[in-house]
Amino acid sequence: MGLLSGLDDFTGWTLLQKNSTAIEQSYAATTPSASDIAYLKSVLPTLKTPTALLGNYRALTIVATAFGLSSEVGQTAILDKLMTQNPNSSSSLAQQLSDNRYLMFAQSMSTYQAPALFTSTSISSIAAAYTAAAPADVASSAQAALFRIIAPTLTTPAALLANPTALAVVTTAFGVGNLATQSSVLTNLLTQDPTASNSVAQQAGNSGYFALAKALSTFKPLYSSTSAGITAITAGYQENAFQTAVGTDNPALQEAMYFQKTAGGATSLSQLMADPALLDVVRVAEGLPTAFGNLDYTQQVAILTPRVDMKQFATAAGVSAFVTKYLAMDQLNGTSSGSGSTDPLMSLFGNGSSSNSNSGSTDITSSLITPGSLNLIL
């Protein structure tokens, strides 16, 4: 990008904090990502289901990038579960993966809806319409009364289709009693987007079909196909592209921007450790050498637990303070994190390099610091 070349961490960070919007907009206007944004705006409204999005590699790449998951584009099975499971369930993949990026993706993109085929209002409306349309006899009155009792327990299309009494009431109420035995047609009416031109509700040309579908369809359009979703994902994609560009000038600033955006709300070390970029910021901020990555997970947790107060990530001010700590340590090291240069604690071993007549100098960090010696130091 060039704009931040030659600036130290704090000067670059101050510039980004005060003028990031203007800098990002200027960058976006001249970057190839502008064509991706145009494509995104044109195609996303047509990709209303997880299956449709997963079938469009270019759109999926852009959407995944917006959530920091560009490396997961090929993992369609994982992405499908994230978009269809209840992201708040403890058994969901989003919760089990720990990584905040997956959780944020799932919370935004999931088409899961809490079971609620009928509401108290719709139950009363359907029962009244059925009473008006059905023969005025004891049997009809009994069916209407029974429907009011059992409807709240029928939370899915499959449950409704499996209950002949409720099904008869519903189809009669919408003037399509002949559908009571047409389970495949009803399934489409209850699960498709009733406004889509290729839906059964639209193609049947029957006002009763459409009315039933519009009232009871459980279809939920994919967030990325909605106006709000397109706006948010476009912004996220541009932001991630900008962060990558910043990283070409100063990797530490890229990690600082990413951490500030992603770490907020993290409540456990596992959430930070599941994301390599977040963990790298934590490592540098806490003055740990790159050899820290050689330790196993249990050892890393043991070292970080007394050092990192997770409560600080509950507020924007706490996250910002931690980012400042990270930049201070990175600048103290005189290198961008992850570059393989001098680490904190290297003073304990000299300057971290030895002279070599063939290549000038050789990094001996890996030979001096091992999991065992690191444990002794820390």
pLDDT digit string, tens, across residues 223-271: 999 999 999 998 888 888 888 888 888 889 999 999 998 888 888 898 8
CB atoms within 10 A of CB 85: 18
What is the pLDDT at residue 242? 84
Query: Tokens for 348?
Result: 């304990």
Segment 157-171 mean pLDDT: 94
Higher pLDDT, 21 or 231: 231
Residue 339 has pLDDT above 60, yes or no: no
Mean of the per-residue pLDDT values for the chain?
A: 84
Read off the pLDDT band of 185 (50, 70, 90): very high
Tell me the three state secondary structure of residue 353. strand
What is the pLDDT at residue 3? 63
Residue 31 has pLDDT above 70, yes or no: no
Higher pLDDT, 371 or 69: 69
Taking a C-beta distance cutoff of 8 angstroms, is the pair 308, 287 a contact? no
Q: What pTM, to 2 d.p., does this model score?
A: 0.67
- What is the SS3 string spanning 57-101? HHHHHHHHHHCCCHHHCCCHHHHHHHHHCCCCCCCCHHHHCCCHH
Among 35-39, 76-80, 269-273, the minimum mean pLDDT is found in 35-39
Q: Could you tell me where the beta strands, DSSP code E, fall in the chain?
A: 353-356, 360-363
Higher pLDDT, 353 or 219: 219
Read off the pLDDT band of 342 (50, 70, 90): very low
Higher pLDDT, 238 or 21: 238
What is the pLDDT at residue 35? 80
What is the pLDDT at residue 369? 40
Higher pLDDT, 377 or 58: 58
With 0-12 / 13-18 / 19 or more C-beta atoms within 10 angstroms meaning exposed / middle / buried, residue 97 is: middle
Residue 200 has pLDDT above 70, yes or no: yes
The residues that bridge with 355 in the sheet, in sequence order, are 361
Segment 142-167 mean pLDDT: 93
Segment 302-315 mean pLDDT: 94
Query: Tokens for 115?
Result: 């079971």
Higher pLDDT, 239 or 6: 239
Residue 340 has pLDDT above 60, yes or no: no
**Structural domain boundaries of the chain?**
19-112+221-249, 120-216, 251-378
Which CATH number does 19-112+221-249 carry?
1.10.3700.10
Higher pLDDT, 85 or 32: 85
Segment 76-105 mean pLDDT: 91
Dist CA 232 CA 225 (whole Å): 11
Higher pLDDT, 245 or 317: 317
pLDDT in tens, 352-377: 333 343 434 333 333 334 444 444 43
Query: Tokens for 118?
Result: 């009928």
Higher pLDDT, 375 or 196: 196
The residues that bridge with 354 in the sheet, in sequence order, are 362
What is the pLDDT at residue 29? 64
Read off the pLDDT band of 33 (50, 70, 90): low
What is the pLDDT at residue 283? 94
pLDDT in tens, 112-136: 987 779 999 999 999 999 999 988 8
The single-letter DSSP state of residue 45 is: G
Dist CA 174 CA 207 (whole Å): 9
What is the pLDDT at residue 21? 74
Higher pLDDT, 98 or 42: 42
Count CA within 13 A, CB hemisphere, residue 214.
9
